[in-house]
Homo-oligomer: A and B are copies of this chain.
């Protein structure tokens, strides 16, 4: 189902951005894991970093309802909620009957026949808070196995006044042994691609040399062996045939800019009438800095699903 990701370590998320709460349920977390609460707090805070980050400042405190007893996981489902404390639905009233350009307003309307107009409903970037919370649990498991996940801004821009920018985030998974992944449709790179493209505003994905590999010859592209089974280059991004080769997993995700900007915006209503609206809400001129931890969270959820 569309709100669940993973097979062995499975996350189901729920919640509209302007409802009571968002949250998730993790199924498949091993029993006995020590839950590092300060780490969760720190990860959640990373969703608010950046000089130009969104003005919205939820506390984003993760409350666990189940699956944890005396600081350790029980092996049962870990349910958690994150309250939507700072809801200003009135900011969105102007859009109640409008489909904004570049937003999922229209597509949700066509998909479901009705929608919760307040704050983008389920399509809001707020939904990623649940991913980051679950990703923090996944990282704790990976940490015990010596696997680390680090993403960074590779291409970033300064937003001009009243406009937004996109960018590229690179992510590196280190410490993953060779032999992780599955052939054919269960390739590790396919799962990573799906995980990244499931993040709002993701619009491109590449492994290793990526699109530049299209211009290389086979003798240039193929990574030469070292006697310890590492390779002299990492054009393939750490896997062959969808299975890790022991080199770092390297991939990049391109994100388009946020499509709500502080400018008059031509919207369309259900009857096809175009009209101009000037948005009053808070808008994210550069969502890239706060997306870094989301990329890491999705990578962690993907990797942990393969190794559990």
Contacts and interface: CB of A to CB of B under 8 A. Distances in A.
Contacts of A175: none
Interface string A255-271: 11111110100111000
Contacts of A228: 272
A117 to B, nearest CB: 9
Nearest to A241: B104
A90 B80 CA distance: 26
B206 A110 contact: no
A111 B243 contact: yes
Nearest to A103: B240
Q: Looking at A121, A211, A227, A258, which has the most chain B CB atoms within 10 Å of its CB?
A: A211
Given A14-B25, A184-B13, A256-B213, A123 B204 contact: no
Interface stretch (A35-43, A68-76, A135-143): A68-76
Q: Looking at chain A, what size class is its interface with the partner chain?
A: 35 or more
Nearest to A227: B272
B114 A74 contact: yes
A4 B187 CA distance: 11
Interface in A120-164: 121-123, 127, 155, 157, 159-160, 163-164
A259 B245 CA distance: 15
Interface in A174-196: 177-187, 189-196
A122 to B, nearest CB: 4
A289 interface: no
A183 B208 CA distance: 28
A66 B19 contact: yes
A15 B113 contact: no
Contacts of A267: 225
A108 interface: yes
A22 B3 CA distance: 20
A66 B187 contact: no
Contacts of A192: 197
A216 interface: yes
A245 B74 contact: no
Given A166-B214, A214-B256, A122 B184 contact: yes
A25 B12 contact: yes
A181 B254 CA distance: 21
A300 interface: no
Given A193-B193, A213-B254, A107 B243 contact: yes
10 contacts: A19-B66, A107-B241, A190-B193, A203-B206, A203-B209, A213-B255, A213-B257, A221-B259, A227-B272, A236-B256
